[in-house]
Amino acid sequence: MDTLIRRGRESDLPALRDILNHYILHTVVTFEMVELSLENRKTWFTQFREKGRYQLMVAEKSGATIGYAASLRFHQRPAYGPSVMTSIYIHPEYLGQGVGEQVYSSLLDNLKNEQEVHRAYGLVVLPNQGSVRLHEKLGFQAVGLLHEGGYKFGKYHDVRIYEHRLEK
Ligand SMILES: CC(C)(COP(=O)(O)OP(=O)(O)OC[C@H]1O[C@@H](n2cnc3c(N)ncnc32)[C@H](O)[C@@H]1OP(=O)(O)O)[C@@H](O)C(=O)NCCC(=O)NCCS
């Protein structure tokens, strides 16, 4: 069955929490360290709108929510407002099937039409071949490296900064 890409809804949050918690507990691709609750995801969800800087797109297959791409605040200082940070997580059973590309492309297409968004930044903990390939394929450029920028599971990890200029 085809993958449906649509706006995120509150009813997606239990599935999105479970997907993210898998990566939090078992990998360093996210620098979150402890499992997230449904209440935490409900608060997170309140930032999203159909227009503007902060948007949430989800992938659905056979009625199940299997991943998301989101744009989030990049930095709390106000002059960073036109820059957003992106986040993308696909259910581990559906990796490498084009779902990430579909949902991330949809989010980026939305952002390209938003006058108040100028740059999108993806922070990729290395190594992550899938995420590196996806960012480069979708038009992001590597613009920096945070050398040993994070510490998780007993060691330091490098983080590559990817920038999308969103071709207005
Ligand atoms: C990274 C992620 C979002 C990519 O989504 P996906 O649905 O698996 O990727 P797609 O099937 O859409 O593939 C997109 C491209 O990346 C390539 N790719 C995907 N996984 C790959 C891997 N493990 N190694 C090498 N290339 C990979 C695909 O071949 C495709 O490129 P191509 O068209 O040139 O062949 C997904 O793997 C994921 O959720 N990973 C765990 C969480 C994560 O790392 N999130 C990103 C944090 S920065």
> In sequence order, what DSSP letters do the residues of 131-150 get, joined into one string?
HHHHHHHTT-EEEEEEEEEE
Q: Does the Cβ of 134 fall within 6 Å of ligand 1?
A: yes
What is the residue whose two structure tokens read 């949809």? 106
Contacts of residue 13, defined as CB under 8 A and 6 or more positions apart, other chains included, come to 38, 41, 42, 45
Assigned domain for 22 exists: yes
Residue 99 Cβ < 6 Å to ligand 1: yes
Does 150 fall in a domain? no
CATH number of the domain that residue 85 is part of: 3.40.630.30
Please indicate whether residue 150, judged by its CB atom, sits closer than 6 Å to ligand 1.
no
CA of 101 to the centre of ligand 1 (A): 8
Q: Which two tokens stand for residue 138?
A: 């979708």
Neighbours of 115 (CB within 10 A): 8
Asked if the structure places residue 157 within a domain, the reply is: no
pLDDT per residue of the chain (168 residues) written in tens, 0 to 9: 799 999 999 999 999 999 999 999 999 999 999 999 999 999 999 999 999 999 999 999 999 999 999 999 999 999 999 999 999 999 999 999 999 999 999 999 999 999 999 999 999 999 999 999 999 999 999 999 999 999 999 999 999 999 999 986
Burial class (CB in 10 A: 0-12, 13-18, 19+), 62: exposed
CA nearest ligand 1 atom 22, residue: 130
Q: Is 56 within a domain?
A: yes
Task: Flag whether 93 is in a domain.
Answer: yes
Q: At what angle do helices 99-112 and 129-137 cross, to 10 degrees?
A: 40
Ligand 1, atom 21, residue with closest C-alpha: 130
Give the range of the structural domain holding residue 102, as residue numbers without chain letter: 4-122
Is the previous residue joined to 14 through a cis bond, with omega within 30 degrees of 0? no
Quote the distance between the C-alpha of residue 69 and its chain's center.
Answer: 4
